[in-house]
Structure 1
């Protein structure tokens, strides 16, 4: 192949159009499976971003109130330099070792909601302390809302996958989750060598 492209491609992601299936089959005929990542098993990836986005938004809707409260808290403490300074001072007073900056999520990027939640969770005690010290700050999460945020924010990714795969695949859930788990292990093993 010109430019050794067969050694430079690991995956091609295309939408679910049937003409793309034909194009990918033709492309695979021209490439050597041995030079592709995992023997080409991941070469043709169907675009499932939209589906994934809907699934994640549905999952986030379960904890919508908690996410909105965290969003309001982050927005409040990042709105002005004075508030940011007060937040940082409280972080230092509580000897919180984390240095990540608070950041709001973006509606079109669901992973930004996860990042916002993960960062906010690092400062849970700071938000609680500031509620007592700042009369204008009205947003406080319950312990249950913090727990939901903790679960959704990434510690239980396979559990979340199992939950939604159960809705999609029913009795075949365990097999489908095992496939995803095995692909993750295979990728990790390939990158370690």
Structure 2
């Protein structure tokens, strides 16, 4: 079974199939080629038939409209196979992925401080943008050799990656202060026009230990 975050668990005569749909190989020769409402239920029905699964308790998917539509169609089709196709009449068949919901909630909160996070992201991006800049930044830190791997840049849609970026940037706050004082290219970088708007903020200016409880 090749789906991300998928598993089958046996409870007596019942099988719970839990899966977060991704565009990836299913059962070796099954593909979810797109996120259209009919594609997912069709592939899922084919897989269940191959695996011999005749009863479903729940399916866990991301909290997305396309998934709601897909599972509604799946439930309608699968229920035709048997009067007992769903445990508890399918009351808990569609479960929204808690991790995905948490990600949406935290990203909504991060939007309130987007300007600060963006300047920090720019500062980290500057250091990571070339090997010479990484080596130069090492002169202002005491933690040894620095790599892009241990100085992460976040993915905006993944709050945990933003947390890791902010945590590491906070650890290097003094290094950013020193770089501001000595690296003219770093200062010029934040005076460039990006996306039609001038960004004069520096990532480390946003850090205030008394205001960072939500990050640490």
Identify the TM-score tier after normalising by the shorter chain. Answer: 0.5 to 0.7
Q: Please say if residues 131 and 140 of structure 1, whose CA atoms lie closer than 8 Å, have aligned partners that are also in contact.
A: no
Question: Which is richer in strand?
Answer: 2
- 1:44-55 matched pairs, under 5 angstroms: 45-48=95-98, 51-55=101-105
CA RMSD of aligned residues (A): 3.9
- 1:13-162 matched pairs, under 5 angstroms: 13-14=60-61, 15-16=67-68, 19=72, 26=85, 28=87, 45-48=95-98, 51-92=101-142, 96=143, 101-138=150-187, 139-142=202-205, 145-147=207-209, 150-153=212-215, 155=216
Specify which structure has the bigger relative contact order, considering alpha-carbon pairs within 8 angstroms and separated by 6 or more residues: 1
In the other structure, the counterpart of 1:6 is 10
SS in 2 for 1:136: helix
TM normalised by structure 1 equals: 0.53
In the other structure, the counterpart of 2:31 is none
Q: Please say if residues 121 and 146 of structure 1, whose CA atoms lie closer than 8 Å, have aligned partners that are also in contact.
A: no
CA distance in 1, matches of 2:17, 2:171: 36
- Report the alpha carbon displacement of residue 49 of structure 1 after superposing the two structures with TM: 5.5
Deviations 1:121-152 (A, max 9, x none): 2211111121112112232533x644487333
Unaligned runs of 5+ in 2: 1-7, 19-58, 62-66, 79-83, 188-201
Q: Please say if residues 98 and 122 of structure 1, whose CA atoms lie closer than 8 Å, have aligned partners that are also in contact.
A: no
Aligned residue pairs, count: 136
CA distance in 1, matches of 2:123, 2:211: 14
Question: Which is richer in helix?
Answer: 1
CA distance in 2, matches of 1:13, 1:106: 24
Unaligned runs of 5+ in 1: 30-41, 156-193
Based on CA coordinates, which of the two structures has the bigger radius of gyration?
2
TM normalised by structure 2 equals: 0.48
